[in-house]
Chains A and B, each alone.
Chain A
Amino acid sequence: MSVLAVEDLHVWFELPDDKELHAVQGISFGLERGERMGLVGESGCGKTTAILAMMGLLPPNASAAGRILLDGEDILAGGDATMRPHRWNDIAMVFQGAMNAFDPVKTIGSQIQEPIETAGLAKGKAARARTAELLELVGISGERQDRFPHEFSGGMRQRAAIAMALACQPKVLLADEPTTALDVMVQAQILELLVRLTDELGLALIMVTHDLPLVSQICQRAAVMYAGHITELGTTTELYHRPLHPYTRMLFGATPDLLAQREVTSIPGAPPRLDQEITGCPFRPRCDSAIDACALSYPPTRTAEPGHSGACFVEAHA
């Protein structure tokens, strides 16, 4: 059984003037124990919103529907009452920009200790010891817990943010752009850490990013999101070598590759607004393969091989 399964998840944001923005439009996928999965797509496609829904941490103007199964139990069904027992304990998150979100006037250690004490895992000395242990786990000497955020480099603050998310030994870690804004070398260090943590702790990881090569490097599978939908889901090898969806193919085509001499081509246009109803395939205005049918309804999902599926009319007829 998947440790986490998301079924037909929707999220709407209420906007002023009775308007609504449909940020996540029915996404489904499963995640196995110890697996690393990428959630990729352009800015605004709903990545952060989707994982905030899994944490039950959506802002007040949002509402969610669908099922979020943790070890088979639907934690979305009962609202906060069913979410709260699992949040941080079973499913935890490193927020987008977390490394810059530490309180500057409190030590790093005290900020990790706080949730440990709140969760009733340990108190006082024991909580301090646990904090040191967590820092060691992410490659920071435990003695440095009395340092302040400004005494840590960006990479170290990101490690500390990861340590904090691991405080209650979750089974699932959601990491939102954990290496964006870090130098390539520090990025490589953090990726190495995430791989080690998932391998050693059997932790399942969802890595949210707009950077495809990063996902190719460390994830076994990935979901490509566009305009609130998962347009393609498969192993990273399938996505790169046998993409089912034109968006996946065009995204890779826009990504420069250090060693390949092939041309890089941008994708014309921009993603659609999500506060208006979209008929047909949301990618159609930018797609290089669109046919008449694409304008009429949302494309059906086709499964090419077990676990590899895409939502596109043209590919569905192929």
Chain B
Amino acid sequence: MSETLLTIEDLVVQYRQGRKKVVKAVDGVSLTVAAGEFVALVGESGCGKTTTAQTAMRMVPATSGTIRYRDRDITNATQSEMRPIRRELQIIFQDPYESLDPRFRVKDIVAEPLEIHGLDNRDERVRAAMERAGLTPADLYLERYPHELSGGQRQRVSIAAALALEPTMLLADEPVSMLDVSVRAGILGLLNDLRTSGLGILMITHDLSTAAHFADRICVMYLGRIVEEGPAHEVIRNPQHPYTKALVSVVPQPDPEQSMQPEILQGETPNPADVPTGCRFHPRCPVATAACSSEDPPLRPAGSDGHRAACILV
């Protein structure tokens, strides 16, 4: 068994919206990521994916629950206590256009985290990180500004900056959703290679096909909860939760002859300010029974090993 790097237990995160209203963006999430493991967190817009990742980075405070990095409880860690952890735990954001400062050259962008952490041998480390991120040879890119790079190259610069500190774990929040499909595979392949070399990866995505291809495990989130999790191929080929079943059924297939029977859920993407009673999915659920509006089902084993779903019918 590889070492567990990130452990999130019963995480609850509330945001204040306006003067009185409080929304539970994350409402009891537990997940782990081990060294060399690639976990995908998928779900509709607003279901709490980014909040989960940002709380793990201590960018957003947890309302309750525990976050551990390796064997250290970092739930309430101060900024200075987080410093050594940050070296190990890095985050990459969605937008390669906004996350790079246009005034700095690539070499300075990649070197910045090294400076913050006061590390030496910067030149060497910058080159190594860039080459690991697929910017080879590094000389070709070191002196350039972000606007002189393609979108895919910019995202590689963000990854290089995250890799410069030689982290053991990466959180990647929609790392390819702003990029053309032609370059996405390169970035995802890179993350996959890093995983093979021992990094733990938690990737947030709303693209099930991408998750199916690259992740070992998939966690499906709905309205602040994980409603299904398991080995990627199991979750995709043998989904247990009615929400996952519907999600899988509407993903467009590239082969037009692959007949689709989309099970289109009507209604809107749900809003965490207004969580239904019982199973939070019941108002949209095609197979809901009377009990579903009062009983709030926990994750239970379903299907094969390590596969769990939160539905009273499993």
Taking beta carbons and an 8 Å cutoff, which residues of A are in contact with B?
42-43, 153, 155-156, 183-189, 191-192, 210-214, 216-217, 235-237, 240-241, 250-252, 254-260, 264-268, 270
Report if A188-B254 is in contact (Cβ < 8 Å); known contacts: A256-B212, A258-B236: no
Given the complex, which residues of B lie within 8 Å of A183, measured CB to CB?
A: 44-45, 206, 269
Q: Which of A236, A256, A260, A266 contacts B183 (CB 8 A)?
A: A266
Which residue of chain A is the closest to B268 with respect to CB atoms? A153
Given the complex, which residues of B lie within 8 Å of A259, measured CB to CB?
A: 212, 236-237, 253, 258
Asked if B250 contacts A188 (CB within 8 A), the reply is yes
Asked if A270 contacts B254 (CB within 8 A), the reply is no
Separation of A268 and B250 alpha carbons in the complex (Å): 30
Given the complex, which residues of B lie within 8 Å of A258, measured CB to CB?
A: 208-209, 212, 236, 248, 251, 253
19 residue pairs of the A-B complex, CB under 8 angstroms, read A42-B180, A155-B268, A184-B44, A185-B246, A187-B250, A188-B250, A189-B264, A213-B251, A235-B256, A237-B257, A241-B255, A251-B181, A256-B209, A256-B212, A258-B208, A258-B236, A266-B182, A266-B187, A266-B189
Separation of A251 and B180 alpha carbons in the complex (Å): 10
Separation of A256 and B248 alpha carbons in the complex (Å): 14
Given the complex, which residues of B lie within 8 Å of A260, measured CB to CB?
A: 255
Report if A216-B252 is in contact (Cβ < 8 Å); known contacts: A185-B247, A256-B209: yes
Interface residues of B in 133-176 (CB under 8 A from A): 150-152
Which residue of chain B is the closest to A262 with respect to CB atoms? B213
Report if A213-B254 is in contact (Cβ < 8 Å); known contacts: A259-B236, A270-B150: yes
Which residue of chain B is the closest to A186 with respect to CB atoms? B269
Asked if B253 contacts A217 (CB within 8 A), the reply is yes
Given the complex, which residues of A lie within 8 Å of B181, measured CB to CB?
A: 42, 210-212, 251, 254-255
Separation of A236 and B255 alpha carbons in the complex (Å): 8
Q: Which of A191, A211, A237, A264 contacts B256 (CB 8 A)?
A: A237
B31 contacts partner chain A, Cβ-Cβ < 8 Å: no
Separation of A214 and B252 alpha carbons in the complex (Å): 6
Interface residues of B in 255-298 (CB under 8 A from A): 255-258, 260, 262, 264-266, 268-269
Which residue of chain A is the closest to B46 with respect to CB atoms? A183
Q: Across the A-B interface, give the 7 residue pairs with the lowest CB-CB distance, nearest first.
A: A266-B186, A213-B252, A266-B185, A188-B250, A267-B182, A256-B209, A236-B256
B210 contacts partner chain A, Cβ-Cβ < 8 Å: yes
Which residue of chain B is the closest to A213 with respect to CB atoms? B252
Given the complex, which residues of B lie within 8 Å of A257, measured CB to CB?
A: 209, 253-255
Asked if A254 contacts B184 (CB within 8 A), the reply is yes
Asked if A254 contacts B185 (CB within 8 A), the reply is yes
Taking beta carbons and an 8 Å cutoff, which residues of B are in contact with A?
44-45, 150-152, 180-189, 206-210, 212-213, 236-237, 246-248, 250-258, 260, 262, 264-266, 268-269
Asked if A216 contacts B255 (CB within 8 A), the reply is yes
Given the complex, which residues of B lie within 8 Å of A250, measured CB to CB?
A: 182
Given the complex, which residues of A lie within 8 Å of B251, measured CB to CB?
A: 184, 213, 258
Which residue of chain B is the closest to A216 with respect to CB atoms? B256
Asked if B180 contacts A217 (CB within 8 A), the reply is no
* Listed residue (B181, B254, B265) with the most chain A CB atoms within 10 angstroms of its CB: B254
Given the complex, which residues of B lie within 8 Å of A43, measured CB to CB?
A: 151, 180
Asked if B264 contacts A216 (CB within 8 A), the reply is no
Separation of A153 and B188 alpha carbons in the complex (Å): 31
Separation of A217 and B248 alpha carbons in the complex (Å): 14
Given the complex, which residues of A lie within 8 Å of B44, measured CB to CB?
A: 183-185
Given the complex, which residues of B lie within 8 Å of A265, measured CB to CB?
A: 185
Given the complex, which residues of B lie within 8 Å of A255, measured CB to CB?
A: 181, 209, 254
Which residue of chain B is the closest to A253 with respect to CB atoms? B185
Separation of A191 and B264 alpha carbons in the complex (Å): 10
Given the complex, which residues of B lie within 8 Å of A184, measured CB to CB?
A: 44, 206, 208, 247, 250-251
Given the complex, which residues of A lie within 8 Å of B150, measured CB to CB?
A: 270
Separation of A42 and B183 alpha carbons in the complex (Å): 10
Given the complex, which residues of B lie within 8 Å of A212, measured CB to CB?
A: 181, 254
Which residue of chain B is the closest to A240 with respect to CB atoms? B255
Separation of A181 and B183 alpha carbons in the complex (Å): 19
Report if A254-B253 is in contact (Cβ < 8 Å); known contacts: A185-B265, A217-B260: no
Asked if B184 contacts A266 (CB within 8 A), the reply is yes
Report if A153-B269 is in contact (Cβ < 8 Å); known contacts: A185-B250, A266-B182: yes
Q: From residue B260, how far is it (CB to closest CB) to chain A in Å? A: 7
Q: Which of B213, B253, B264 contacts A213 (CB 8 A)?
A: B253
Which residue of chain B is the closest to A155 with respect to CB atoms? B268
